[in-house]
Structure formats: C-alpha cells, structure tokens
Structure 1
Amino acid sequence: MLDDFIHQQRVAYFSMEIALRNEIPTYSGGLGVLAGDTVRSAADLELPLVAVTLASRAGYFRQAIDAQGRQVEQPALWEPREWAQPLDAKIAVSIEGRVVWIGAWLYVLESHMGGRQPVLLFDTDLDENRPDDREITHYLYGGDETYRLKQEIVLGIGGVRLLQALGFEVRHFHMNEGHSALLGLELLRRYEYPPEDLRPGDLPYDIPRVRDLCSFTTHTPVEAGHDRFSYAQVERVLGNFVDPATLKHLAGEDSLNMTRLALNLSEYVNGVAKRHAEISNTMFPGYRVHAVTNGVHPFIWTSEPFRKLYDRYLPSWCHEPEQLVRVDCCIPDGAIRDAHGQARQALIEQVRGRTGVALNPTAPILGFARRMTAYKRPDLLFTDLDRLQAIARQRPFQVVLAGKAHPRDEGGKRLIEQLHAHASALEGIVPVVYLPGYDMEIAQALVAGVDVWLNTPLRPFEASGTSGMKAAFNGVPSLSVLDGWWIEGCIEGVTGWAIGNAAGADDGDARALYDKLEQVVLPLYYDGQDDPAGWVRVMKGAISKNASYFNSHRMMRRYATEAYIR
C-alpha cells in the first residue's frame, strides 16, 4: 500500500496530534482537529501530502464527570493494528545517550471524493526498546518536560529519518506548531558544509537551504505558551546534536525555544488569523508572519440534512465551498429551517441518550464547547445568575456545554465543577446540560444542532478558533467576543453578533453578552416563530458569508500557492 504514495514528491506535514476519526484518540482538541481537516482537504483536492504524527497509543484521556461535577480522567487506549498497517522500516535516534528505535503505522485517510492521503503514526513501543522508551509515544501531552522533549525528538528528528527510510521524496516540510521544530536540526546535519569551506566565525550549516525547505504555522499568541527546554536538559537528552553555537543562534541564548527555532528555520511563517498574525509580528520582531486564517473541512463538519440540501441546490459545494455564497438566492428559507430542525432533533436525542435530560423542542439552544481553561471563560455566561434568570423568564432558552480540562490544569477542572454548580442553581429556570466525554462525535452534533454558537475568550488569547466556522456550515450564527477569526467573520446582525468590541475592556463583556442576548438575539429568534424570515436571514448569512470562506479547502489552496510552491 505504501507504494501508492512514494512515486511523487510530497509535502511532509508534521503535527503532534491529528484527529483522524472519533475512534482513534490521537487528538486533544483544536490543534489536532485542524490537522485532521488539513489532511482531509489535501485528500479532496488531491494535493500530495504525507502527514507525520505520533501513535499516542494511550490517547489523551476519556472524560467522565462524577456526582459533584468533577472531571474524572480515564484511559483512552487504542490498538493501531485495528486501523493501520505496520510498516517494515525502522530508524534509530539517540536519547539520553542510548539508541531508541522508531517504527511507524500507515493510516490511509480516504476522502469521500475519492482522494487518499498517507498518515504515518510513529511508535516506539518496540521489542528493541527498554520499557520506559517504549512509552515515549504512548501519552499525548503526558508526562513531564523531559518526556515532552523525547516525544519531540521522535517526531521531528525521527520523522525526517523515517520518511527517508520509507522512500518518501519530500519537497517541503510544514511544521504545525513548534512541537516538530527539531526536524530543522536534522536537516541542518543533512546540509552541513565541508570543514575546509568554512572561515572563522562561519556557522557550519547551509541554513538558507534548510529555510527554503520549511514552513511553520504558529498557533499561540502568548510567549508563555511556547515549548522551552533548558540547554542542560537538551544536552542530557539529545546530546550535542548540532554545533552548540548554531543551536543558540537559532533557538535562543537562554533556552531552546521551539518556536524561535521554527521561526529561524522556516522561509514561510504564518499565524492562523489576521489578528493573530499581527500579534505574532509584535511578539517576534524581525520576522515576517503572514496570515492564513484557519478553516474547517466542508463535508466532515456539515450535518447530513445540510449535506443533502447543498447537494440538491449547489452540487459542487464540497469541492468548491465558495459556491455557498449563493445560498441566499438559491435555497428556499423553508428548506434551511427544515434541515436545521432535523439537526436540532438529532442533538436533542443525543443529549437525552447521554444524560437523560429532555431539552425543550421549541426554546432556543445556546451551545458552548471548548477546552476548559481560564482564558476561554466558559463561566462568563454565568457571571450574574439573577440577570440570566430574569432574561430567561421573559424569553426562555437552554444551554448545552461540553469540554475537557487538561489533567494538570486544576483551574480548568474547577471551572467544570463550577459550571455544574451553576446548572444546579439555575434548575427550573434555565436548563443547562453538560455533555461529558467531548469528542468529534459530540462536536459534530453540537455545531449542527444548537441555534446560537457562543464563544467568550479573553482577548487576545484566541489565536483563531474554528468551532464557530463549523457551526456556520450548519446555518448556526455565532455570538462571540471579537477575537481570533471572529474579527474577520462577524458582520453584525448578518453572520451573528459581537460581544463588546475588539478593543473593549474585558470586564464589561458579561454585561455586553447579557444585553445582546436580551435585546437582540432572543427577540429575533422569538419573532421568527411568527415571521421566520429575519432569523433565517442570519442563518443564511452565516453560511454564505462565513462557511463559503472559512473552510480548509481555501486554507490549503493558500498554503499550496504561498508556502509550498515558491
């Protein structure tokens, strides 16, 4: 099967996590889902890609919620053999002065349009390795800093070597976040100058040649969010892999900053939204950070009722999502309402099946699903419970929540507990349901079945965000803080609604949220029961103005023309 993919040059796409399907827990959230959508669009568009990631045999974790509303982490084990084919090639890397062998599994991602893309899942769980080394590729984002560094050695250095051993001819390397930046060091070693060609003070590697081979997508708008390793730790784990002076020149004098390393070894660098690119240019002066705003995969995130609707009226939408700009004039309002009604009923049934809670079939549903952490502010909606109840007494609404907190994020875990406490306090006035075990299946039901998608990050920490884009494909408008992609996607009253403004004070966001909900969103929804044209107009606006643009087909075409082909 591998022979199907090594006959032509490919772009090697490196990502610590990739969401391939719901049954394969090799993703934790947005970064992995974006990577999965990237590979899916490459398959649809038949762009020659090979994706490189870790097998993560123990996954991230499966989430349960106890009686007190506390998150409980359970193992998310999976068996690669059930979904992927083992490959014969193995390569070795040096970790802590010993040989660690790396093998790979081949997963073939097949597009519904007939395209196919190879995904390599790297695995150190081999008989040749000692027990602790066999676990390097087990836990996604698990362990301590040393464990993380070992994983990044396997992904970056091991990735370049194993691609070569398997016979792939790589024309370009794309690093999705800085986890794989060590691939640049392996390329430096490949393009080392002969000693006799060096003059005193010269760096011993052909850095321009390596830069020309690499692109880097950064996702983190705060300096503290980038991986760093002390040079003492790097020397102990990796050894003197490249010339120390070169490493400090590229990765920072004080510590190995993986983002700095990726920036210095990539000719093309991009942020994941226009605002994020601006912030990154400020964070990293001297570098040119382009903006390629994220997108989501058209087919995978569109519910079955809307797929059928688009197939009927806009048959080429899956390959050319820009055709969705014609939704306003081509699809009847009643057909939009009917498709959403089917998706809504599917969500109601899933909520009942998972929690036993029967949602009101007529009251609007607000949806919020994110990684549960402080800057996402999942509790903003519950800042003033008295006002929230007063709004609901006038015009009833209900809320469906979902999301995991990282096992070591105690603040995020407390937020989940607090959300359950708020749900209890609002019982009888505002139905609030928390769906445990947030995964792709739950996300697909939520973004299609709710009536309004809520997003409340603390500015400017939302680099992009993609869940609102997924909702747009299903005619669901967003009610969101102006950060990340929503600065570009929000046309007030047309695609959804803004909470506050892009430069506003964060301490006024709760009041702005309540005002917009009480005075604009809920009145429009309830008026729509007698005259539905107003609400459907916003649904169509979300599709025609946002889904038509904020999709991974457009994103991949930009990467191909601006980053890969230069």
Structure 2
Amino acid sequence: MLEQFILAPRIAYFSMEIALRNEIPTYAGGLGVLAGDTMRSAADLALPMVAVSLVSRAGYFRQEIDAQGRQIERPASWDPERFARPLDAKIAVPIEGRAVWIGAWLYVLEGQMGGLQPVLLLDTDLDENRHEDREITHHLYGGDETYRLKQEIVLGVGGVRLLQALGFTIRHYHMNEGHSALLGLELLRRYLYPPEDLHSGESPYDLPRVRELCSFTTHTPVEAGHDRFAYGLVQRVLGNAVDVEAMKRLTNAADAQRSRIAIDEGLIDLATLKHLAGEDSLNMTRLALNLSEYVNGVAKRHAEISRTMFPGYRVHAVTNGVHPFTWTAASYRKLYDRYLPSWCHEPEQLVRADCCIPDAAVWEAHVEAKQALIEKVRALTGVALHPKIPILGFARRMTAYKRPDLLFSDLDRLKEIARNRSFQIVFAGKAHPHDEGGKRLIEQLHAQARALEGAVPVVYLPDYDMEIARLLVAGVDIWLNTPLRPLEASGTSGMKAAFNGVPSLSVLDGWWIEGCVEGVTGWAIGDAAGAGDGDARALYDKLEQVVLPLYYGYAQDPGGWIKVMKGAISKNASYFNSHRMMRRYVTEAYLR
C-alpha cells in the first residue's frame, strides 16, 4: 500500500499528536484534533501530503472522576496492529551516545470523498533498543524534560530520516507547533554548500534552502508555553550530533574542509545552533522561526501577539478551521445534503443556509442532535436532562486560563437567573496529569454543581474524547467559552458547534474576534480589550437579558432563535473550516 504514496512529491506535516479516530488515543486536545482535521481535509481535497507523528502506544490517559470530583488517570494503551500496518524500514538517531532505532506504522486515513492520506506513527519499541529507549514513543506528553527532548528528537530528526528511507520525496515540511523543530537541524546536515564555494568565516549550512523548504505554525501566545532545553541537556541527549570537542576540530579546520567534516561526523555547529535557537537555552519555537520561510499564527489576533512576542519575524495569520463532515451531526448532514448538496466538499456553500433551508428543518435537526446528547448524558451520569430547557455546553482542556469556573463566580446570581428562566449545564474536559491547578478546577466544578443542586442541573461528562465532543457541539443549545484574554490562540470548539447551528456565547479572544457578529452568530462576553475583571458580570447580564429571553421567545417567535442558528451556520461554518484553511496553506505556504 505504501507504493501508491511515494510516486509523487508530498508535503510532510509533522505533529507531536494527531486525532485519527476515537479508538486511537494519539491526541491530547485541540492541537491533535487540528492535525487530524488537517489530514482529513487533505484527503478530501486530494492534496499530496504525509503526516508524521508518534505512535504513543500508552496514549494520553483515560479519565475517571471520583465521588468528590477528583480526576483519576487510567492507562489508555492501544494496539497499533488493530488499525495500522508495520513498515519494513528502520533508521537510527543518536541519543545519549547510542543509536536508537525507529520504525513506523502506516495508518491510511480515508477522506469523505474517498481520498487517501498516509500517516506515519513513529515507534521505538523495537527489539534493537534498550528498555528505556523502547519507551520513548509510549507516553504522549509523559515523563520529564529529558523524555520530552528524546521524543522531539525522534519526531523531528527520526521523522525526516524515515521519510527518506521509505522512499518519500518531500517538497515541503510543515511543523505544527515547535515540537518537531529539530527536523530543521536534520535538513541543515543534508544541505551544505560545496566546500569550494565557501569563503573564510562562512557557515557551511545552506540556510536559505532549508528555510525555503519549511513552514511553521505556532499555537502558543505566551512565551512560557514554548519548549526550552538547557544546552547541557541537549549536548548529553543528542550525543555526537552536538559535540563540543568535535566542533573544535570542525572550527579549526580549513574552510574547504568544514562541510566534509560536518557530513562525515554528522555534526551541527553548536555556535550555529545557539544562533538559531537562543543563546541561553534551545528554544524550539525560536529554532522553528529561524528555519522557516513561512510562519503563521492560528488567528488574526494570535498573529498580532506573535509578532509582538517575536519582533523581526513576519508572522502571517491563517485562522484555524474544522473538518466539515467529521464535526457535523448526522441530522445536519442529511439537512445539508438535501438543501446544499455540495456542502461537504465546498463548505462555503453553507453561506446560503440562511435563505435556502426552512426554519422548521433546522430546528428538527437540532432536536434530533439534542436528544442524542441527552441519551449519552443519561448513560454516563444517570442524569435526565430536559429536552425543552436550554443546555449550555463547555468542553475543553481543564486549565486555569480557560476559566471553566467563570460561570460559577456568583452562585446566588446564577440561581436568580435560573429562577426566571431555567437552563442546564454540561461540562467535559481533562486536566493534564501534571496540572494540579487544572485538577483542582475539576474538583471545584463538582463542588459548585452540588451547591446548585435543585436550582441548576449541572453534569460533568468523564473521559472527554472525540465521540463526546461530537455529541456536545451538536446537542447543546449554547456553546460557552470563557478564556482569559489574550491566551486563547484560536480555539476550534465553537467552530464545530457552528456546523450544527449552535451559537457561541464567548469571550472575544482567538477565532471569536473574527467570528462574532453580535446577535447574528452568537454573543460576546465583554469586549476584546477587557482585562477580564468584569467578565463574570458581563456573562450573567448577557445570559439573563439577551440569550435566555431569545431562546424562550421561541414559542411566540420561533424565527428569532432560528435566525441566530442560521447565522452561525451561514457566516461561521461556511468560513471557519479546514478546507478553507488548507487552501490557504497550499497557496501561501506550500507553493511559494
């Protein structure tokens, strides 16, 4: 099967995590889901790509919630043989002075239109390796910084080498976040100027050639969120790849010999590395920035922030999108197939949803999706939600800046709002095993839910995954998002909701700055310049005075609420999709 994928040049898409299907736990959250949607759209659009990620045999983790609301992590192991086939090629990378062998599994992703895309899942669990090396690709985001650096060596350096060993011709490399930035070092080793072309003091590395081959998408709007590794650790773990004594020989050699020595010894000049990745430590984002001709943020506002964080770099904006077919409920797929039959391949056709689809048909599709969510909630928690009472949904990684507790800032005010117009709340999300603050938030949410018992039904769905996400974004009535500005680089859950006619009630950050048309696609909480201090009050006011009255006015004027649902579809789903995103990458990054 591999033969069909190596006949023509491809774009290599590198991502530490990727969401391929619900049964394969090679993703932790939004970054991996975006990677999966990227490849699904590539399949639908017949773009010649190949994804490179880690097999993550032990997955991320399965989440249990105890009676007090505490998160318990359980293993999430999976067997690659169930879904992928092993490939024959193996390559080695230097780690801690020894050769660590890397193999790969081939997962073939099939798009909705029948297109196929290869996904390589790198694996060090091989007989040739020592026990500790076999575990490098086991745990997604597991272990300490040494373990993380080893994983990033496997992904970046190993990924490039394995693509070559398998016979792929790569025309472009796309780094989805900085985890794979070491691929640029591997390319520097590969592309050196001929010794006879070097003049005194010149670097042997063909940096312009490498930059031309690479693109980089950054997702993190805070400096502290970028991977850094001390150079002492880098020299120890990378072994001979960055060797001080050997580099002295390289530095002292005549200019005409430098390239040949670098090739023979497989070295990267430590001075060059520091110049590219930072003097104090190896900053993976800095390395990716310096080795990429095209750099982009994942929303317009995020690109602005990134340009401020990294002055001197040109950071474009390609706002994220979500895969149309994957995130649209079955009831809405049938609806769009009937009234806008080309929507799945050309989601921009959804711009006509407000005039081409009858109101009653939109509502019927929503009722069906809502009932599916209600049944799932009952199965997981035993709680029976009411189908005629609006449901607010909140589901994402549980961490402090996402502020999942903002809605519960004033329980008395919340109860007062509910006395006049009832509503229900559904939460879901995992906290990283090392994020103690995130775990406390989950526990606090459960305590607040107990405090609201009898006034506001609140449920927390455990073990958030793609299946639960699909049901939530389609089955709730209002999608809630309350990040602390400007820490939401993009966010995509509200985009998924829009494909199902669910409007957002969200803080103006990330994609929502572009997607919010007040009262048309949903509603803003506060303003884009706010510091966040008044967000709770703004949330309560908007919920009490605008959102709930409009929802409950359905009986007298069904057109009011349906108009907002249609606005979410026609103005948000038609634009914030991964087909549009991929067409932007092709024309602006890959085919420059």
Do these two structures clear the TM 0.5 threshold for a shared fold by scoring above it?
yes
| Alignment partner, residue 161 of structure 2 | 161
| Alignment partner, residue 478 of structure 1 | 504
* Equivalent position SS for 1:507: coil
* 2: CA distance, partners of 1:73 / 1:457: 25
Does residue 518 of the first structure (1) align with residue 528 of the second (2)? no
* 2: CA distance, partners of 1:316 / 1:357: 39
* Equivalent position SS for 1:324: helix
Range that drifts further, 527-536 or 289-298: 527-536
Equivalent residue in structure 2 for 1:259, among 275, 285, 288: 285
Does residue 494 of the first structure (1) align with residue 520 of the second (2)? yes
Mapping for residues 198-237 of structure 1, pairs under 5 Å: 198-237=198-237
Does residue 327 of the first structure (1) align with residue 353 of the second (2)? yes
Mapping for residues 53-68 of structure 1, pairs under 5 Å: 53-68=53-68
TM-score (norm 1): 1.00
* 2: CA distance, partners of 1:387 / 1:213: 55
> Contact conserved, 2:485 with 2:531, CA < 8 A, in 1?
no
> Contact conserved, 2:101 with 2:128, CA < 8 A, in 1?
yes
Query: Which runs of 5 or more structure 1 residues have no equivalent in the other structure?
Result: none
Does residue 387 of the first structure (1) align with residue 423 of the second (2)? no
* 1: CA distance, partners of 2:374 / 2:556: 23
Task: Letter of the 1:232 partner, please give it.
Answer: G
* 1: CA distance, partners of 2:278 / 2:204: 18
* 2: CA distance, partners of 1:545 / 1:517: 22
| Alignment partner, residue 370 of structure 1 | 396
Mapping for residues 180-199 of structure 1, pairs under 5 Å: 180-199=180-199
Does residue 315 of the first structure (1) align with residue 341 of the second (2)? yes
* 2: CA distance, partners of 1:298 / 1:430: 33
1:193 Cα deviation after fit: 2.4
| Alignment partner, residue 134 of structure 1 | 134
1:196 Cα deviation after fit: 4.1
* 1: CA distance, partners of 2:129 / 2:192: 30
* Equivalent position SS for 1:506: coil
Task: Letter of the 1:78 partner, please give it.
Answer: W
TM-score (norm 2): 0.95
* 2: CA distance, partners of 1:264 / 1:519: 50
| Alignment partner, residue 33 of structure 1 | 33
1:22 Cα deviation after fit: 0.1
* Equivalent position SS for 2:282: strand
Equivalent residue in structure 2 for 1:548, among 548, 570, 574: 574
Mapping for residues 143-154 of structure 1, pairs under 5 Å: 143-154=143-154
* 1: CA distance, partners of 2:169 / 2:497: 38
- 1:316-343 per-position Cα deviation (integer Å, ceiling 9, x unaligned): 0000000000001100000000000000
Equivalent residue in structure 2 for 1:425, among 451, 466, 474: 451
1:111 Cα deviation after fit: 1.1
1:201 Cα deviation after fit: 2.6
Mapping for residues 530-549 of structure 1, pairs under 5 Å: 530-549=556-575
* 1: CA distance, partners of 2:497 / 2:191: 46
| Alignment partner, residue 101 of structure 2 | 101
* Equivalent position SS for 2:380: helix
1:197 Cα deviation after fit: 3.1
Task: Letter of the 2:521 partner, please give it.
Answer: T
| Alignment partner, residue 86 of structure 2 | 86
Equivalent residue in structure 1 for 2:380, among 335, 354, 364: 354
> Contact conserved, 2:19 with 2:25, CA < 8 A, in 1?
yes
- 1:121-167 per-position Cα deviation (integer Å, ceiling 9, x unaligned): 00000000000000000000000000000000000000000000000
> Contact conserved, 2:274 with 2:282, CA < 8 A, in 1?
yes
* 1: CA distance, partners of 2:484 / 2:203: 42
Task: Letter of the 1:394 partner, please give it.
Answer: N
- 1:526-566 per-position Cα deviation (integer Å, ceiling 9, x unaligned): 01122110000000000000000000000000000000001
Does residue 113 of the first structure (1) align with residue 139 of the second (2)? no
* 1: CA distance, partners of 2:393 / 2:354: 25
1:79 Cα deviation after fit: 0.4
* 2: CA distance, partners of 1:472 / 1:150: 39
Query: Which runs of 5 or more structure 2 residues have no equivalent in the other structure?
Result: 243-266
* Equivalent position SS for 1:408: coil
RMSD: 0.6
Task: Letter of the 1:135 partner, please give it.
Answer: E
Task: Letter of the 1:186 partner, please give it.
Answer: E
1:189 Cα deviation after fit: 0.2
- 1:295-332 per-position Cα deviation (integer Å, ceiling 9, x unaligned): 00000000000000000000000000000000011000
* 1: CA distance, partners of 2:433 / 2:530: 32
1:21 Cα deviation after fit: 0.1
